[in-house]
Homo-oligomer: A and B are copies of this chain.
Amino acid sequence: MTARFEQGDRGLLVLGGARSGKSRHAQALAEARGGELVFVATGQAFDDEMRDRIARHQADRDGRWRTVEAPLDLAEAIGDVSGHTVLVDCLTLWTSNLLLDEADWENATARLIEAIQAHHGTLILVANEVGLGIVPDNALARRFRDMAGTINQRVAAAVDRVHFLAAGLPLALK
């Protein structure tokens, strides 16, 4: 099945590993779609490594993009830009922020799903698949892995298309 994202499709989840080309793929599809481009960033610049990563991603986007920061209040951020072409990058950093903040992630996820369903216009969400290595030693990492997997399943069910990226190449899951 070819990895499609056609005019009638509004919601897309781009899933993949680290450096699989997820962000680039998602961004290219959003730009091809057109409309007012809004980038919803969930990453927080806690340290130099993260600052570098954020700066590199920013450099990949040109002046057409407006950036909104949403480390925790993702549903609200999406609600604020309904009608635009929105790229959320990424759900896995958001999951990590929820965990560190000891937030009610089940509730936050339910509100995210509502925001996805209420969105008018294109909505592309990027997420990491993190469950395909061996079981992590520490309990927090296992909890994070379970949360991320559960959130990916719920978002996948709520969007029209899901693309799995590996080595820069998309595979259609939905």
Contact residues in B for A142 (Cβ distance below 8 Å): 49
Whether B15 contacts A167 by the Cβ 8 Å rule is yes
A interface, by DSSP: helix, strand, loop or mixed? mixed
> Cα distance A139–B167 when bound, in Å?
22
Q: Tally A residues with Cβ within 8 Å of B.
A: 43
Q: Contacts of A1 on B, CB cut-off 8 Å?
A: 1-2
In the bound complex, residues from chain B placing their C-beta under 8 Å from that of A144 are 134
Contact with B along A56-94 (1 / 0, CB 8 A): 000000000000000000000000000000000000000
Decide if A44 is an interface residue (CB 8 Å cutoff): no
CB-based contact B146/A18 at 8 Å: yes
Chain B residues whose CB sits within 8 angstroms of the CB of A155 once the complex forms? 167
Asked if A148 and B13 sit within 8 Å, CB to CB, the answer is: no
A108 at the interface (CB under 8 A from B): no
Interface centre among A127, A136, A164, A168 (most CB of B within 10 A): A168
List 26 A-B residue pairs with CB atoms under 8 Å apart, sorted by A's residue number.
A1-B1, A1-B2, A15-B166, A15-B167, A17-B131, A18-B132, A18-B145, A18-B146, A18-B149, A19-B150, A20-B131, A127-B167, A129-B167, A130-B132, A130-B134, A130-B135, A131-B132, A131-B133, A133-B134, A149-B167, A152-B167, A153-B167, A156-B168, A164-B166, A169-B174, A171-B171
Extra 8 A-B pairs, beta carbons < 8 Å, given A17-B130, A18-B131, A131-B133 = A19-B145, A19-B148, A49-B139, A129-B167, A130-B133, A152-B168, A153-B168, A166-B173
Report A's interface with B, CB cutoff 8 A: 1-2, 13, 15-21, 49, 127, 129-136, 139, 141-142, 144-146, 148-150, 152-153, 155-157, 162, 164, 166-169, 171, 173-174
